[in-house]
Structures are given as C-alpha cells and as structure tokens.
Amino acid sequence: MREAPIRRADSALTGRARAAHEPFIWDITTLAALGAMLALALLPILGTLCAAAFLGAVILLVVLKPLQSLDDIRRFAPLLSIALLALISTIWSDAPERTLRAGIQLFFTIVAAIVIARRVSAERVILMLFAGFTINLLVALPYVPGALLRGYALVGLMGSKNAMAFSAHMLMALSLAIMVDHRQNRLARLAACAAIPASIAIIFLCHSAGATASAIITLVAFPAFLLLGRLHISFRLGVMLTLLLLLIVAFIFLADLQYAWADFRLTVLKKDATLTGRTYLWDFAFRLIAERPALGHGYYAFWRQGNIDAEGLWRWAMIASRTGFNFHNAFVEMLVDLGWVGFSVFLITCVSVAGMGLYRQITRPSIPMAFFLSMLAILFARSYSETGLIAPFSQMTFLLLATGIYAVAPSKKTGRPGISEPREAAIVPRRV
C-alpha cells in the first residue's frame, strides 16, 4: 500500500526528468560509436590512424547486428547514390585506381553515418562529438601563448588555421546544443558552458573570416530554430513560408547580394575581392568542366601528383607538398569530378535532407534537430568557399547525412535489453 504513492510520483516525472536520471549505458555498441565519433573529430590531427579507427569501429557496429545494419542500409539506400556514382565513375576516370579507392571510402563513410545514427540517439552523438572536439581544443592550448606573443594565426597540430577554426566552431555549436538540453548530463552541461568562451577565443586567435562568419550564423540560426519549436504549429508553417519567400527574393536579387558580400569582405573582413585567389581556381575549374560536362573527370581524379594541370595549380599556389588542395567550392568540385549528373544527385541529396529536417522541426521540434539544422546552414554557406560536404571521412558529410536520418527515423534501442533510447529533447510549443 505504501508503494502506490511512490509509483504515482515516479510516473508523474516528466520525460525530461526521467531521462536525466537514466544512466549512460556503456555497452559495446556505445563504446564502438564513441570510438567512431572520437576518430572523426580527431581525424585532422592524427590522419590515417583515425581513419582506420573510424572504419574499425563502424565494422564492429555492423558485425554486432548484421541483419539490423543491412535493414538500415536498405532503408536509407538513396543516401548511397552519390557514393555508387563515384564508384561507377572509375570506368571513365582519369585515375581509375584513385577513384576506386576514394569511392570505396565514401561508400563506407555514408554506411557509417547510417549505422551510427540508427544505433545512437541524436543527443548522444552530440555528446560524443563534443568529447572529441574538446580534445582538439585541449591539444591546441599549448600553442595559444605563441600565437598571442607573435600575433600569428593559431594552427596547432592541424596544419591549417581554417581547420583549427572549424574545429573550434564545431565545439562552440555542440556546446550550445548541450547547454540548453536538460536531457544531457549535468556535468556535460557545465563543461559545455566552459567550452563556449574557450572555443570563441580559439576562433578569434585563428584569424579565420569563414569561422567567424560561421560562429555568427550559428548564434543566430540555432536560437531561431529553437524559437521555431516553441511556436504553435500554424505559426511555424507561417515562418517557413516567409523564409521560402525570402529565399525566392534573395535569388532574384542574387547579383546585388553578391556585390554586397564582396564589399563586406573587402571593407570589414579585409579580404581581397578575388577571395584569396579562389576566383582563379574557379575559372580554371570551369574550363575542366567544359571538357567533360556530363560525367566529369572521375571522383577524386584531378588532384593527384603527375597530373599536369594539378601540378601547375600547386606551383601557382606555392604548395611544395603537392597535396591537400582543392577548388574551394563543394559544388564546383563536384562538377569537375562527376559532372552535371553527379552535381544533380548531390543537389537533390542536400535539398532532400534540408527539407526533411525542416519538416521534422515543424511537426516534432527538438533541440538536437535545431542543432543539426543550424549546422546545415553553416555547411551550405561554407560550401561556397570550401569543399568536404560530401567526402570520405568528412565530419561535414556525417552531419549532413545524420540530419536526414534523424529527421526520418530517430535511433533504435541501445544495447541493453528492455532499455530504449530516451526520446529527443522536445521543445514544448507555446501558443502565440
């Protein structure tokens, strides 16, 4: 008889409070997923070692539940379209062996995104990525005094100020998502509060205009998507319709907006009008596209030693290592590699993922989806001047695909029988 009030009190707990008391289940599935997320975050520092660890962790996840993995891959098979096209491009590629290897790597990267997103909840993926990018920040700390004293851009162990700045921006965005999510562990939320100012300081020390712009967009987009979830559904639909109309207007006045952006870069960000030589790269790329407009030169076939055109661009850019260069535009890079056919598949994938994410945030708003949508806005904006949106072992590729997967179907159960993943941190709508 005395237990009844206790049961009633327990059942009265909200989903949020109950999730806060549920322990983090350290089963082999969780550990494998954590290993994959850490490897993905640390890839810019450790390179091949992390790529191998990432593949090993994903293979372990597949082996643990092969039938479920095959079912998940079948369900999200359309996401593999771009990887299959990359593999097929081996037939006409200028460098068949390189294309085949990169196509296989891209295929496994997409499979990894599907398997991980179906095994681990969005909240836990965010927490795992937070752990990885926190390590990146801690590793960079010893290089901060030198950057302050000499006034140079902070590079750390990544070899690139842009890579270092992107890592810091990712930590800032992940921290925001954890800080406002009451389903996250209290200790993680406290760590996120401390990580936000630290990551902003690292972005400042990197002297990266792109990362600074990305941070500003995040600080606007993430709260906006959160606010969207608190509105009544009729108002959400009205907001999305307004945004669609604004996009149409922006497309009509695209030339004026590009001029305004160029003026902003020149007067505020102190960047030259040619985007630090990128316009020359794009002009060169358009000549390559004209040579094979339909199918391109083969996935990852251009930037290789021995290719006269690539060697010339490396010399022009004074890159002695003759590696690690690109056309600094994800859409242009795709046109060069896979032509208009590949570009069409790429564009359909991006639009479909964004549409599914927006639909879920309108119909079933949540904090994790607000994070993923704000990151999509960043990734699409960065794609105008950077590559990697669809690439092997790319953090951006994982975020893009995970958005679509979580929008269609949240993750399944964890490894412990009878215990299911907590639902996404919902945003309770308010009537306006």
- Average pLDDT (168-180) is 94
**Residues in contact with 249: Cβ distance below 8 Å, sequence separation at least 6, in sequence order:** none
pTM (two decimals): 0.82
Average pLDDT of the chain? 82
Using CA atoms, how far apart are residues 178 and 137, in angstroms rounded to an integer? 17
Quick one: pLDDT at residue 98?
94
What percentage of the chain exceeds 90 in pLDDT? 43
Find out whether 391 and 100 touch, Cβ atoms under 8 Å.
no
pLDDT given for residue 407 in this prediction: 93
Asked whether the predicted pLDDT for residue 209 surpasses 50, the reply is: yes
pLDDT digits (tens, 9 = 90+) for 390-424: 899 988 999 999 999 999 976 554 433 333 344 45
| pLDDT value of position 46 | 84
Q: Report d(CA 388, CA 384) in Å as an integer.
A: 11
pLDDT of residue 78: 94
Taking the C-alpha atoms of residue 387 and residue 326, their distance in angstroms, rounded to an integer, is: 7
Average pLDDT over residues 310-335: 85
Predicted confidence band at 425 (pLDDT cuts at 50, 70, 90)? low
The residue behind tokens 């398997």 is: 115
Residue 153 pLDDT > 80: yes
Evaluate if residue 215 carries a pLDDT over 60: yes
* 8-state DSSP, 418: T
Of 40, 370, 333, 367, give the one whose Cα is nearest residue 225: 370
Instruction: Check residue 427 and give left, alpha or beta (phi > 0: left; psi -120 to 50: alpha).
Output: beta
Q: Which pLDDT score, from 0 to 100, does residue 158 have?
A: 79
What was the pLDDT predicted at 399?
94
Distance between CA atoms of residues 46 and 50, nearest Å: 6
Q: Is the pLDDT of residue 7 over 90?
A: no
pLDDT higher than 60, residue 306: yes
Residue 170: alpha-carbon gap to chain centroid? 9
* pLDDT at residue 23 in the model: 47
Dihedral angle, C-alpha 376, 382, 388, 389, nearest 10 °: 30
Per residue in 66-101, is it b (16+ CB within 10 Å) or e — as a string?
Answer: eebbeebbeebeebbebbebbbbbbebbebeebbbe
C-beta separation of 105 from 392 below 8 A: yes
Reply yes or no on whether the pLDDT at 263 is more than 50.
yes
Looking at residue 109, its pLDDT comes to 94
**From CA 319, how far away is CA 118, in angstroms rounded?**
41
Determine phi and psi for 385, rounding to 5 degrees: -130, 0
Quick check: 114 pLDDT over 60? yes
